[in-house]
Chain A
């Protein structure tokens, strides 16, 4: 059964820092990996989706990388801002034949201090 782990569980940084969030998964036979953002009491917003054939995806100040062989992904946030404060979750398909039925990590709660 696929398991997804995110470290650290919480992170507090001063505004302007570059930071890296980590995600690891146990079964490397994945179609893709998604990173989501969740604001308190709200739903999730998809930030980036990396397909299994890709190494990374970029959107603005966000860059996500994928290393299937080692079962790892990182989300890099450049020049962090207070508005980036949220919980960030990664997710992978539960198994090869389940379409996009996802298994989620526990999330990293990020606080960016002004």
Chain B
């Protein structure tokens, strides 16, 4: 089975801190995604990557950056955390080049609280 692992289940950070959320997948997937999920707003795409060192902005990239130095790892970076970035963050991956029809596999999520 595909495994998507997010490094932390819960994180508590202070306003202004730099925050790294790590995600690793073990199935050699090309595509990786970062979503955030908020009550009443659903899942919103922050960034995605379809290859090493490639990245594209999703719907809400402001305040975030990403890094994909290796195929299996996709990192989400909050350069200066703010309270409105308190959320559940979900990483996902999938096989297939762009335009494919493959399932999306999610990690367990990281609940980030910014105080």
| A, B from the same assembly | yes
Which A positions have Cβ atoms within 8 angstroms of B? Answer: 31-32, 34, 36, 41-46, 49, 51, 89, 91, 94, 96-102, 104-107
**Of the residues B42, B48, B105, contact of A46 by C-beta under 8 Å:** B105
Report yes or no: B99 in contact with A46, Cβ–Cβ below 8 A.
no
Q: Which of B11-19, B62-70, B77-85, B106-114 binds A?
A: B106-114
**Of the residues B45, B96, B109, contact of A43 by C-beta under 8 Å:** B109
Contact of B58 with A by CB under 8 A: yes
Question: What A residues does B88 contact at CB under 8 A?
Answer: 41
Q: Which of B1-54 contact A (CB under 8 A)?
A: 4, 31, 33, 42-43, 45, 48, 50
Report yes or no: B96 in contact with A100, Cβ–Cβ below 8 A.
yes
Report yes or no: A44 in contact with B90, Cβ–Cβ below 8 A.
yes
Cα–Cα distance between A101 and B59 once the two chains are bound (Å)? 11
Cα–Cα distance between A101 and B42 once the two chains are bound (Å)? 15
Q: A43-B90, A43-B108, A100-B94 are in contact. Are A49 and B48 (CB under 8 A)?
A: no
16 A-B pairs (CB sep. < 8 Å): A31-B100, A31-B101, A36-B106, A42-B108, A42-B109, A44-B90, A46-B105, A49-B103, A51-B101, A97-B99, A99-B97, A100-B31, A100-B96, A100-B104, A101-B48, A107-B42
The 9 A-B pairs of least Cβ separation, nearest first, read: A99-B98, A43-B106, A46-B103, A44-B106, A104-B43, A43-B108, A106-B42, A43-B109, A32-B101
Q: Which residue of A lies closest to B48 (CB)?
A: A101
Report yes or no: A99 in contact with B31, Cβ–Cβ below 8 A.
yes
Cα–Cα distance between A4 and B108 once the two chains are bound (Å)? 23
Question: What A residues does B97 contact at CB under 8 A?
Answer: 99
